[in-house]
Amino acid sequence: MEYKKGYICRCCGEFHEELPMSYGSDAPVYFYYMPEEERENRVEMNDDLCVIDDEHFFIKGCIEIPVLDGEGPFIWEVWVSLSETNFEETIEYWETEGRENKLEPMFGWLSTSLPCYPDTVNHKTMVHTREVGYKPYIELEPTDHPLAVVQRDGINLNRIQEIAEEICNENNQGTDKL
């Protein structure tokens, strides 16, 4: 198998040296719905966790997609909601060795709007806690949604390049942030 080294972008026409294999979102979609001047007072957030209005709880995790013709996985870092109980349990075990064996998979609503796919917000997911230091694995409910399909069946490098070109188009820069 060969890792794809660089490509000529059909969006901007430039040669990009690296094909991005992961994209991340800085905040749950509800943060962006909020008027900018309210965000500071209503949102508590770090790189992994987010609380909005003291009553909506989110964790950041990884939708990992097997790559069929190269090194993988391809990763979307996304936010999902958690119940208050599950959120508190997650925090309680944050630094606990072996937490991945102690915490059951948790239900969450996908709370990131991904480009390149039909609406992803509120897709059902299960959040699988991993070892300390690793973001949880996000398992999409196995529906017919194209994102759920590729999580099951995998993706190829050509499609990953198309995604890079589409995101290049949207942001007009070579960023890996959504």
Among 12, 45, 51, 121, binds Zn ion (CB under 5 A): 12
Task: Determine, following the binding rule CB under 5 A, whether residue 9 of this chain makes contact with Zn ion.
Answer: yes
Task: Determine, following the binding rule CB under 5 A, whether residue 162 of this chain makes contact with Zn ion.
Answer: no
Task: Determine, following the binding rule CB under 5 A, whether residue 34 of this chain makes contact with Zn ion.
Answer: no
**Residue 127 and residue 129: Cα distance in Å, rounded?**
6
Percent composition of the chain: helix, strand, coil (DSSP 3-state, to 5): 25, 30, 45
CA distances from 158 to 9, 18, 35, 155 (A): 12, 13, 38, 8
Task: Determine, following the binding rule CB under 5 A, whether residue 65 of this chain makes contact with Zn ion.
Answer: no
Nearest residue (CB) to Zn ion, 4 versus 128: 4
- The window from 2-10, 19-27, 58-66, 154-162 that contacts Zn ion (CB under 5 A) reads 2-10
The residues, any chain, with a CB within 8 Å of residue 35's CB and separated by 6 or more, are none
Task: Determine, following the binding rule CB under 5 A, whether residue 168 of this chain makes contact with Zn ion.
Answer: yes
Footprint of Zn ion (CB under 5 A): 9, 11-12, 168
